Amino acid sequence: MKKLLKLVAIAATVVASVVATSCSSDSSEELNAFYDASPADFKEKLETLQAAGADYVIIDYRSAEDYAEGHITGAINKQATAQNTQSNSSEWCTWLKNAYPTTTYIMLYGQDASQEYYVAGRVSKLGYGKSHTWSLTNGYAAWAAAYPSEVTK
């Protein structure tokens, strides 16, 4: 009887682990499906998209105050926070899905690398995928340092 109870306890633990793993929506593998681009690679991709006439948007997900102090020319501002990007149905994600079809290239940047992984990973999970989700490594500061003439203040 003790062996049977022990087997049942082990089986229950295994089942709980499998269920918890399969229900997780933010695994590292899923959230890593985006291009983490240096300023030079980000610029090259923008130029390629422009030359091809492809649909793209540059989204500055910093605060409105940071955006007003300077941003990449042509970028729009839509602040991303932990609260408004926490799930595919959250406010920021709903806005993105309603504003841009999944065939649009989403070019993202923030203040630095602190939110990059999460925001870009979430965009990719919304259906844009790795090929259409690009994030600027080290954010606006890296771009401003590399291309000071290509910022708007």
Q: What is the pLDDT along the chain (153 residues), one digit of tens a residue?
A: 555 445 444 444 443 333 333 233 444 435 558 999 999 999 999 999 999 999 999 999 999 999 999 999 999 999 998 788 888 899 999 999 999 999 999 999 999 777 888 899 999 999 999 999 999 999 999 999 999 999 998
The span from the CA of 80 to the CA of 105, in Å, is 18
Contact indicator for 144, 70 with CB cutoff of 8 Å: yes
- Domains, the chain, ordered by start: 28-152 (3.40.250.10)
Beta bridge partner(s), residue 133: 106
- Res 16: pLDDT: 38
- Res 15: pLDDT: 38
